[in-house]
Structure 1
């Protein structure tokens, strides 16, 4: 009789265990679906994000109890679940999905693919990080370092894309564009944005490209600029020589002899600067 009773108890316990694990699977899917879409749902369903974060926090507490050997009743779910690590992975997935494949619009149709991609990533990172700072971080406990986590994910993706582009032989415009994003737009308009600067400083993001890549790009840019200036000046001088060859009287402007060469040189200098 006792053996039969114990068998029934074990069977019921196994069924309860399976039911619990199934419930955890459903909860996990729901929680991380919300985390994945946090940036789009937080303006209109903030409570969903709050509940999702609370669920992750609770699971972390249960993992800690498990690590300390604290018993949690007859029905024990598999531990540790490591939902905080899953949260970080999910944030990275969300960031990657939002940063890739810039939309093609009428306003961007005249831009190069590189320019369109950089513009999309920069705009996405800035706007999303403002949402994280102003709307999302309030739902997370401090140990999650939510702003730093998101910032590091955006920076990592942005940097990886720029490093890939930097490996190719770029045209003059794209070389300048890449340097402009690394040295000017990213540090000044994104990292030093009034709403973001405090949180992004904590993340210590660094440059989008390693120093050796920046030096190589600068060297390439200077070589291209020197060649451009030489070509422009040569063409201007050739045109002036053709005028001289006609042995015509120099042109007059405001009572003075006039040459277009000085104007051409000034314009080339302004363009190259």
Structure 2
């Protein structure tokens, strides 16, 4: 049965896979409660681990689907809507319970927190998308930073437009999917710009970076405020202040 469920997960038939795992989990719990494993506790532990590993496989599938949402040129609406249904069913199936009295029971009946994994996957997706913007070396092109920031802006624009026009439709309002993506991109860009600012930038390059952050990126961000309640990110602002301070220190040093 375990192999059959693995095949369902590989085929992204996640609702069917979840139903089978839940049945397997419920049967194992019933057998435990009837003391079927009193003479063979290792068998109970083995079955519990099978259930846990299968649930983890679904977790990985969810993360893969979310991270691939912006990479796939043809958005798979059915895949995303099924994933949302899956998360909802799991939350109903696994309310918080205390299974500590049974060895190995911490693997059974516990919440899988797939909505949290969904958010983590969006953060990882944004991080990867930001790093995909082409960046030449200073030796290859004197305007390497200008080009990189241009590519970064174009990639960000395309991704956010896709989220607004297509991805948002696949989620219920409670997910606040636009806000979640905007926050994720804020954090990813802030981290990336911080790394750039810590590199060996000359005066012109540092000015280019600060100008892009304060003007181009800020204006670009405002284009999307109509559909996002996220204002200036609390993660982003300290980095911007740090850039300005670094620029001020450099000017004084000159």
Superposition TM-score tier, normalisation by shorter sequence:
0.5 to 0.7
Change (3 A) 1:167 1:18: closer
Change (3 A) 1:219 1:24: closer
Which residue, out of 191, 198, 201, partners 2:226? 198
Change (3 A) 1:217 1:6: closer
Correspondence 1:67-78 to 2 at 5 A? 77-78=108-109
Hey, what does 1:152 align to over in structure 2?
A: 183
For residues 81 and 194 of structure 2, the distance between their equivalents in structure 1, rounded to whole angstroms, comes to 36
Q: Which secondary structure does the structure 1 equivalent of 2:226 belong to?
A: helix
Change (3 A) 1:44 1:84: closer
Hey, what does 1:214 align to over in structure 2?
A: 244
Change (3 A) 1:19 1:220: closer
Unaligned runs of 5+ in 2: 1-33, 100-106
Q: Does 1:143 align with 2:184?
A: no
Change (3 A) 1:218 1:185: farther
For residues 181 and 87 of structure 2, the distance between their equivalents in structure 1, rounded to whole angstroms, comes to 17
Change (3 A) 1:172 1:104: closer
For residues 104 and 211 of structure 1, the distance between their equivalents in structure 2, rounded to whole angstroms, comes to 24
Correspondence 1:216-255 to 2 at 5 A? 216-217=246-247, 220=250
Correspondence 1:1-273 to 2 at 5 A? 7=36, 14=44, 20-41=51-72, 43-63=74-94, 65-66=95-96, 77-103=108-134, 110=141, 112-168=143-199, 170-188=201-219, 190-193=220-223, 196-200=224-228, 202-206=229-233, 209-217=239-247, 220=250
RMSD over aligned CA atoms reads: 3.6
For residues 201 and 38 of structure 2, the distance between their equivalents in structure 1, rounded to whole angstroms, comes to 71
For residues 16 and 175 of structure 1, the distance between their equivalents in structure 2, rounded to whole angstroms, comes to 58
Structure 1 residue 223 displacement after superposition = 8.2
Change (3 A) 1:10 1:170: same
Equivalent pairs, count: 207
For residues 32 and 156 of structure 1, the distance between their equivalents in structure 2, rounded to whole angstroms, comes to 19
For residues 104 and 186 of structure 1, the distance between their equivalents in structure 2, rounded to whole angstroms, comes to 18
Change (3 A) 1:27 1:161: closer
Q: Which secondary structure does the structure 1 equivalent of 2:112 belong to?
A: coil
Structure 1 residue 87 displacement after superposition = 1.1
Change (3 A) 1:40 1:160: closer
Unaligned runs of 5+ in 1: 70-75, 225-273
Structure 1 residue 27 displacement after superposition = 2.7
Hey, what does 2:25 align to over in structure 1?
A: none
For residues 61 and 78 of structure 1, the distance between their equivalents in structure 2, rounded to whole angstroms, comes to 11
Change (3 A) 1:173 1:44: same
Cα deviations across residues 177-196 of structure 1 (Å, max 9, x unaligned)?
112211110111x2122xx2
Structure 1 residue 93 displacement after superposition = 1.3
Structure 1 residue 48 displacement after superposition = 0.9
